[in-house]
Amino acid sequence: MTRSTRTREREQENHTERENTRECPECGSDHLVKSTDRGELVCDDCGLVVEEEKIDPGPEWRAFNHQERQQKSRVGAPTTQTMHDKGLTTTIDWKDKDAYGRSISSKKRSQMHRLRKWQERIRTKDAGERNLQFALSEIDRMASALGVPRSVREVASVIYRRALAEDLIRGRSIEGVATSALYAACRKEGIPRSLEEISEVSRVERKEIGRTYRYISQELSLEMEPVDPKKYVPRFCSELDLSEEVQSKANEIITTTAEKGLLSGKSPTGYAAAAIYAASLLCNEKKTQREVADVAQVTEVTIRNRYQEQIEAMGIHS
């Protein structure tokens, strides 16, 4: 069934590609417009009807907004890597109502309660699936606490599944590998979170997260690029309630000093924090080193050291 669906999707993509590369036989133009009302393919330049009576692959019903589309749709939710069964199993609703919205009797209610309980039990057939379910729920919980988008959760789930398939979890805690997968996914998707932020929402210590992350990234060949400090600037500036002017100045400081080789071997969060501190002074929106350090979760000493290096490289005298 999966193979036939993939084949259909591939055929549809090929058909779309062929349509996109077609030319008008009259004038040679490739600006062909599809008219869904008439089922025609028309040249936009000369008006020639290239093809007529085209088959519409869409649904037979019409909908004018998202809510109507959801009500009329006869398919379920798309598959997701964030659930151990990829969202393919059934769930029994907790509303205790029949198809017409009427409340069911107490006898039926107790029967549905038993069915619901057994349905939850049989969703995981062995200990391996139960562990996977627990790991993915941990990733979901931590991702919600960090406020990262759904794409990061999907990538983290894929990384964890790969680690499980490669037998990298043996001898390590499930929470440790799940947290490391989430940290790697944040970096992959360009929404970096520091190890301190990750460890705050995790049940694992920072040292174990770092060690496990290095291990799985090496074993799975994740090829992580160094984190750009500029990716931290908008979030830190927002939390410090600083203007766009400070943000652009901090980015300018990072770019200029990084070109001179100052970034090599430095923590990106500390580097970004120091640039924001320097920019806030230059733009007369002064913030204390303590305030910036609290937001970036680095020490005031780190900010002072990076700040001195950056202003010297910029040729600014404090």
What is the C-alpha separation between 15 and 257, in angstroms, rounded? 51
- 283 among annotated binding-site residues: no
What is the C-alpha separation between 248 and 167, in angstroms, rounded? 45
Residues in Cβ contact with 27 at an 8 Å cutoff, skipping those fewer than 6 apart: 43, 45, 46, 48
Task: Centre a 10 Å sphere on the Cβ of residue 263 and count the other Cβ atoms it contains.
Answer: 20
Residue 92 is which amino acid? Answer: I
Residues in Cβ contact with 53 at an 8 Å cutoff, skipping those fewer than 6 apart: 39, 40
- For the chain, the maximum distance between any two Cα atoms, rounded to a whole number of angstroms, is 81
Task: Centre a 10 Å sphere on the Cβ of residue 162 and count the other Cβ atoms it contains.
Answer: 15
- 43 among annotated binding-site residues: yes
- The DSSP call for residue 47 is -
- 24 among annotated binding-site residues: yes
Which stretches of 38-173 are DSSP H helices? 66-72, 106-122, 127-146, 150-165
| 239 within 8 A of 273, measured Cβ to Cβ | no
- 27 among annotated binding-site residues: yes
Tell me the binding residues for Zn(2+): 24, 27, 43, 46
Tell me the binding residues: 24, 27, 43, 46
